[in-house]
Amino acid sequence: MSITFHSPVPRAATDKAFGRGKRNNAAYDMDLDGDHNDTPRSAMNDPLIHVVTPGEVITADTAFMRGHGTYVEQEKVLSSVAGVVERVNKLISVRPLHSRYTGEIGDVVVGRITEVAQKRWKVDVNARLDAILMLSSVNLPGGVQRRKQESDELQMRNFFVEGDLVVAELQTFFSDGAYSLHTRSLKYGKLRNGSFITVSPGLVQRCKSHFHSLSCGVDVILGLNGYIWVSAHAPQNLDEIDTEQVYSNKNKEDITPADRESIARVASCIRALAEDFIIINDTIISFAYEASLQYPLKDLHKKIVMHDIAIEATHAVETMKG
């Protein structure tokens, strides 16, 4: 057996293989106005996507302000997360592709009650701290309008207990960065008759409405925190909602097996889209649902089937756009 040893490869050659030396030099004099002179590997053909990793210089130009996901060192703006660079006028921020939920006021979120405390509930909303739902920011059963008294405080567990799922709107921030929620509308409140899915928060698209009724007889609530609720269809018309029953713990009795199957199918479709890291909105869910109809329900958890559904749904959306 003959063994041959090659001489060690010089440093410059490996730098080139990793696309490093070039990238670093380019990063310093990068022109953020669009014409990138940095030509990375074939993976990055889209000039609009600028990916950075922690400690990488985004710009050395002092005219820029630092936003989220960046920090300043020696008058340079550097990234502190791995993600995509976003620029609004002179503000540079880096959005990580995979992280916990960061809310904005007015967001519709789905959450789970984790704790019942003094005049408030703690709600897990996939953020870095549990959100707070004050007793004063919920509706009383029957839609009674009055100040909350001690008697209401004592029966807080009749409204929400630990483990209940709620849909709420983000009202304000506390000084420590925790979110305050409210459910003062009949749109919001306790969730029943359905199933719960989690996806990465970045995948849920901000839309005009996050309450959707799909044509297959299923309602979907797309929480911006990545928590999604898929349930049997319920009347959306505010006059038809029985206000006495908003805190009931009983599911509807007349959910047919066909309805249950549709709920399971829609839930699987959303999981399939999330698995392929595709932005989720009501249109693509409908297309994914249609694509899934050719498969029996029990096959929808298979990786290959999920991938097929996701691809077919994205194609359908693209052809619709033209």
Partner 1 sequence: MGLHLAFPHLITYRKTNSDVFFELGLRVDGRRPAELRKITSTTSVLSQADGSAYLEHGNTKVLAAVYGPREPRHRALVVHDRAILNVEFNIAPFSTGERRRRTKNDKRLLEMASFVKQTFEPVVVTTLYSRSQIDIYLQVIQQDGGVLQACINAATMALIDAGVAMTDYVCACTAGWVEREAAIDLNHTEESSDASEVTIAMLPKSGKITLAQMESRLHVDKLEEVLQLAGEGCKQIHLVVDKTIRDRAEDLARKLAV
Stretch that binds partner 1, among 31-39, 71-79, 145-153, 258-266 (CB under 8 A): 71-79
Closest CA to 104 of 125, 76, 84, 90: 125
Site for partner 1 in 193-212 (CB under 8 A): 202-203
Q: How far is Cα 287 from Cα 269, in angstroms, rounded to an integer?
A: 9
Q: Is 117 helix (H, G, I), strand (E, B) or coil?
A: strand
Quick check: 70 and 92 in contact, CB under 8 A?
Answer: yes
Q: CA Rg, the chain, in Å?
A: 25
Stretch that binds partner 1, among 13-21, 142-150, 206-214, 291-299 (CB under 8 A): 13-21
DSSP label of 321: H
Q: How far is Cα 197 from Cα 95, in angstroms, rounded to an integer?
A: 23
Stretch that binds partner 1, among 105-113, 172-180, 187-195, 209-217 (CB under 8 A): 172-180
Q: Does 44 bind partner 1 (CB under 8 A)?
A: yes
Residue 66 in tokens? 């630092």
Nearer to partner 1, 157 or 315 (CB): 315
Closest CA to 309 of 264, 273, 261, 283: 273
Nearer to partner 1, 92 or 203 (CB): 203
Taking the complex as a whole, the smallest distance from the CB of residue 132 to partner 1 amounts, in Å, to 11
Taking the complex as a whole, the smallest distance from the CB of residue 141 to partner 1 amounts, in Å, to 29
3-state helix, strand, coil in the chain (%, to 5): 30, 25, 45
Q: Does 129 bind partner 1 (CB under 8 A)?
A: yes
> In the stretch 109-128, what mask flags binding to partner 1 with x, by CB under 8 A?
-----x-------x-x---x
Stretch that binds partner 1, among 14-22, 213-221, 234-242, 246-254 (CB under 8 A): 14-22
Site for partner 1 in 261-280 (CB under 8 A): 276-279
Site for partner 1 in 281-300 (CB under 8 A): none
Which residue of 30, 59, 83, 222 would you call a contact of partner 1, by CB under 8 A? Answer: 83
Nearer to partner 1, 130 or 164 (CB): 130
- Angle between helix axes 257-275 and 282-292 (nearest 10 degrees) is 110
The rounded Cα 216 to chain-centroid distance in angstroms is 24
User: Which positions ≥6 away from 136 have C-beta within 8 Å?
Assistant: 119, 148
Q: Does 105 bind partner 1 (CB under 8 A)?
A: no
Beta-bridge partners for 93: 86
Q: Does 9 bind partner 1 (CB under 8 A)?
A: yes
User: Which positions ≥6 away from 183 have C-beta within 8 Å?
Assistant: 133, 137, 138, 139, 166, 167, 168, 169, 189
Interface positions with partner 1 (CB under 8 A): 5, 8-9, 13-14, 17-18, 20, 43-44, 46, 48-49, 51, 53-55, 69, 71, 73, 78, 80-84, 96-100, 114, 122, 124, 128-130, 176-178, 202-203, 276-279, 314
